[in-house]
Amino acid sequence: MHNKPPCNWLCLLCALLISGCSQFTTAPSLNSSSILIKNAIIVDGTGGLRSTGAVRIKDQYIVAIGALEALEGEQIIDAGGLVIAPGFIDTHSHHDVGLADNRDALPLLTQGITTSVFGQDGGHSLPLQNLFDDFDANPSAVNFASYVGHNTLREEVMGQNANQQASSAEIAAMQALLKSEMDSGALGLSTGLEYEPGLYSTREEVLTLAKDTAKIGGRYISHMRSEDRFVWDAVDEIINIGRETGMPVQVSHIKLAAKGLWGQSERMLGLLNGARAEGIDITADLYPYEYWQSTIWVLLPNRDADDLEEIKYVLDELTPANGIIFTHFEPDPSYVNKSVAEIALLRGTTEVQTLSNLMKEAQIWSAANDDRSAESIMGRSMSERDIETFAQWPHINISSDGGFQGHPRGYGTFPRIFANYVRGSSVLSVEKAVEAMTSRAALHMGFTDRGIIQPGFKADLVLFDPETMQDHASIRDGQVLSSGVEKVWVNGVLVLDKGEPTGARSGQVLRR
Ligand SMILES: [Zn+2]
C-alpha cells in the first residue's frame, strides 16, 4: 500500500526507552504536557479497520496509541466516541490566494484539512522563499507546501512574449529559475497546460523541465493539456513524462469533461494501471463535483470567440448553457451567479451568440484594463458515475482544487466525500475515504511523517463524526462552512474546538 516511513528520532528514542512505540505508560518524562485523547474510534489513515482507544500527543508528535491509561498531570480530552483520523491533506489547493488574510483558515479546518499543497496548475508564488519566510514568521493554522509552476516560470522568463514557443535560451533560463525555486524547498514541478502561456509549450519543453525536476528529487503534477477534446493525448503526455523521468507524476483533478467521454472512466484507469504495470509511478487526485471552475477560455482551445460552430459544439457536448455559471465577470458584475442560459434570456439572444458575446466582452475588458482575470465560470461537465469510479481507484487521493472564493469545493470537498460517497452511494468506507485523504495523499506528495496515526508522526489530527459530516456550500452559494468536524490539531496544537477556531496558528511550511 505504501512504504513504511523511516523511524525518526522520537520513534528511536521510544524504542530505546520501552522497546515499543504503542505503550508509553511508564515514561515519566512525558506527563508534563502530553495530551490524551481517549474514548475515540481510531481510523489511522492506512485504510485498515478502525479500532477503539486513545491517542497520546506530546509537543508536535503522536507518541502512543491504543489502550492507554492517563498519566499524572496529563491533559485529558474525551473524544466522546467520535472518529479520530490523521488531518486531511489537500494535495491541490488554491487557498494560497487569501491565506495571508485568513490565517485561521476556517474553511479548511471545518473540512478537517491540516495541510494544503499550493503552486498548482502551473502557477506559484514567485519567489517561494518570500512566501515561506512570511509564514515561518507569521504562521497560519494549517501546514502548507508548494510546487513550482511552469506558467509562472514562463511568464517570468518570456514576459510579453510568453504566448508563443520558447527559444532554447528561454528554456535554459526557465531551467535556472526552476532550480533556484526547487532549492527553496518546493515539492516539484506543476503544469497548467490548458492555460496561457503553458499551452504554447511543446512536449519537449515540459519534458526538459521535468527531467531537471527529477534530478533534484522532485515530482510532477499536471493540469493536463485537455480534459475533454484531447484528453487521451494529454494522458499520453503525462505517462510519457513519468516514463522518461522516472519520477512520480500525478494527474490533477482527474475528470472526463465531455458528454461523449462519460462512462469512460474505466478506460482512463486502464491506461493509468497499464502505465503503473510498466513501473511508472502515476497517481491522480479528485474533487467530488460535477462542476469544474476555470476561465471561460478552457472551453475554446482555439481562443476564437467568433467561431460559432465551435461554441455550438461546446454547449452541445461539453457544458450546457444552464450549466455555465459566472463566479466573476468584470464587464458586468450583475452576471455573477447567473448562467449563460439565464443571461441569454435577459438579452434576448441565442445561447450560442450570448456565449460568444460574453467572451468578446471579457476580451475587450481585459485589453482595456491590462488584466487577464476578467471572468471565471463554473461549468457542469462531469458525470457522477465517473466520479464514483475514480473515487475507488487505489491510487487516487482527494483534493479540493478550491479557494476562499468561487466554487463550493473550497469549503465543502472533504465533508462531501463522507456525505455523498460514504453515506450516500456507499462506494467508500470511512476507512477508505480517510486513507484517500491522508496516508495516500502524503505518499503522493512525498510527506513521510504525516497522514498516519502512528507514534513518531506529526500530530495533525481531526476529530469528527462521519455520520453527520456535511458540506453546505453549493454552486450558487459557495462560501458556507461545512459541519461535523469537532476538533482539529495541527502539529500537536488544538486549532479548532467545537467547530470554532481557537486562535492558535501552529501550521508549518513543509519543505521537500
Ligand atoms: Zn487545474
Same domain, 167 and 263: yes
Instruction: Over range 278-307, report the average pLDDT.
Output: 96
Distance 194 CA to ligand 1 centre (A): 9
* 54-100 residue pLDDT tens: 999 999 999 999 999 999 999 999 999 999 999 999 999 999 999 99
Instruction: Over range 446-459, report the average pLDDT.
Output: 98
DSSP label at 427?
-
Q: Is the pLDDT of residue 243 over 50?
A: yes
* 339-395 residue pLDDT tens: 999 999 999 999 999 999 999 999 999 999 998 889 999 999 999 999 999 999 999
Distance 145 CA to ligand 1 centre (A): 17
Instruction: Over range 25-48, report the average pLDDT.
Output: 79
Distance 253 CA to ligand 1 centre (A): 7
| Per-residue b or e along 121-147, where b marks 16 or more CB atoms closer than 10 Å to that residue's CB | bbbbbbebeebbeebeeebbbbbbbbb
Q: Is the pLDDT of residue 175 over 80?
A: yes
Distance 479 CA to ligand 1 centre (A): 20
Distance 191 CA to ligand 1 centre (A): 9
Could you check whether the bond before residue 288 is cis, i.e. omega within 30 degrees of 0? no
- What is the spatial distance between Cα 106 and Cα 121, in angstroms, rounded to a whole number? 24
Same domain, 328 and 413: no
The pLDDT score that the predictor gives to residue 372 is 84
Per cent of the chain over pLDDT 70 is 94
Please state the domain count of the chain: 2
Distance 224 CA to ligand 1 centre (A): 8
Distance 252 CA to ligand 1 centre (A): 6
Same domain, 167 and 304: no
Distance 193 CA to ligand 1 centre (A): 9
Which of 29-33, 411-415, 477-481 is predicted least confidently?
A: 29-33
370 class by beta-carbon count within 10 Å (0-12 exposed, 13-18 middle, 19+ buried): exposed
CATH code assigned at 179? 3.20.20.140
Q: What is the value of pTM for the model shown?
A: 0.93
Which of 15-19, 68-72, 107-111 is predicted least confidently?
A: 15-19
Distance 293 CA to ligand 1 centre (A): 8
| Domain hosting residue 276, numbered range | 88-290+387-447
Same domain, 310 and 284: no
Distance 139 CA to ligand 1 centre (A): 26
Distance 251 CA to ligand 1 centre (A): 10
Q: Which of 360, 373, 275 is nearest to 327 (CA)?
A: 373
Same domain, 130 and 212: yes
Distance 192 CA to ligand 1 centre (A): 7
Distance 459 CA to ligand 1 centre (A): 30
Distance 249 CA to ligand 1 centre (A): 15
Distance 381 CA to ligand 1 centre (A): 14
Q: Is residue 75 part of a domain?
A: no
Same domain, 181 and 258: yes
Distance 103 CA to ligand 1 centre (A): 24
Same domain, 395 and 254: yes
Per cent of the chain over pLDDT 90 is 93
Strands (E), 405-482: 461-464
Q: Is residue 121 part of a domain?
A: yes
Same domain, 130 and 210: yes
Same domain, 119 and 184: yes
* 404-429 residue pLDDT tens: 999 999 999 999 999 999 999 999 99
Q: Is residue 35 part of a domain?
A: no
The pLDDT score that the predictor gives to residue 33 is 86
Alpha helices in 192-339 (DSSP H): 203-216, 231-245, 265-277, 308-313
Distance 280 CA to ligand 1 centre (A): 22
Distance 38 CA to ligand 1 centre (A): 40
Order of strands, edge to edge, in the sheet holding 219-223? Answer: 148-149, 188-192, 219-223, 249-251, 282-286, 396-398
Confidence band of 32 (pLDDT split at 50, 70, 90): low
Same domain, 202 and 137: yes
What the block records as the C-alpha cell of 388 is: 464514483
Distance 120 CA to ligand 1 centre (A): 7
Same domain, 238 and 218: yes
The pLDDT score that the predictor gives to residue 13 is 39
Q: Which residue's entry shows cell 506559484?
A: 124
Distant-in-sequence, close-in-space partners of 486: CB < 8 Å, separation ≥ 6? 80, 82, 463, 464, 465, 497, 498, 499
Distance 384 CA to ligand 1 centre (A): 19
Distant-in-sequence, close-in-space partners of 335: CB < 8 Å, separation ≥ 6? 326, 329, 343, 358
Distance 23 CA to ligand 1 centre (A): 44
Instruction: Over range 168-186, report the average pLDDT.
Output: 98
Same domain, 361 and 391: no
- Last residue in a domain, options 380, 409, 424: 380
Distance 116 CA to ligand 1 centre (A): 15
Distance 117 CA to ligand 1 centre (A): 13
Distance 65 CA to ligand 1 centre (A): 38
Q: Which of 509, 479, 484, 512 is nearest to 499 (CA)?
A: 484
Q: Return left, alpha or beta for 460; rule: phi > 0 is left, psi -120 to 50 is alpha, else beta.
A: beta
Q: Is residue 47 part of a domain?
A: no
Distance 376 CA to ligand 1 centre (A): 13
- Average pLDDT score over the chain: 94
